Amino acid sequence: EADIYQTPRYLVIGTGKKITLECSQTMGHDKMYWYQQDPGMELHLIHYSYGVNSTEKGDLSSESTVSRIRTEHFPLTLESARPSHTSQYLCASSERWETKNIQYFGAGTRLSVL
């Protein structure tokens, strides 16, 4: 069982609000990721980090930003939420072992912007 936690699980907010989605893991993994997923669809990588003070944009362009000040914490921020940001956001972490790169996922945050 992976120890990776996301809060809140559900969030409904109005347009223009600033929000931060929290993600924490207790496994000591160096690598962390944020994915965006529409219901029943594939996961799109929006941000990733390979360690403290290291962040990169993923394959899908996103207006969100991330920070990695501590190994265990990888929050995602939207400065001004819009209805187009409505989606599910999944956080994951991994630690490479030999040639394996298993990512462990949190339960996700389902965001609705009105």
Partner 1 sequence: GESVGLHLPTLSVQEGDNSIINCAYSNSASDYFIWYKQESGKGPQFIIDIRSNMDKRQGQRVTVLLNKTVKHLSLQIAATQPGDSAVYFCAESTVSNFGNEKLTFGTGTRLTIIP
DSSP conformational letter for 83 = G
In whole angstroms, how close is the CB of 56 to partner 1 at the nearest point?
7
In angstroms, the Cα distances linking 81 to 16, 54, 89 are 5, 24, 14
77/101 with CB nearer partner 1:
101
Q: Which of 20, 26, 101, 112 binds partner 1 (CB under 8 A)?
A: 101
Taking the complex as a whole, the smallest distance from the CB of residue 18 to partner 1 amounts, in Å, to: 25
Bridge partners for 112 per DSSP: 12
- Range list of β-strands (E), the chain: 4-7, 10-13, 19-25, 31-37, 43-51, 54-57, 65-66, 76-78, 87-94, 103-105, 109-113
* 97 touches partner 1 (CB under 8 A): no
Of residues 33 through 72, those in contact with partner 1 by CB under 8 A are 33, 35, 40-43, 45, 48, 50, 56, 58-59
| Distance from C-alpha of 40 to C-alpha of 54, rounded to nearest angstrom | 31
Q: Does 106 bind partner 1 (CB under 8 A)?
A: yes
Give the interface with partner 1 as residue ranges (CB under 8 A).
6, 31, 33, 35, 40-43, 45, 48, 50, 56, 58-59, 90, 92, 96, 99-108
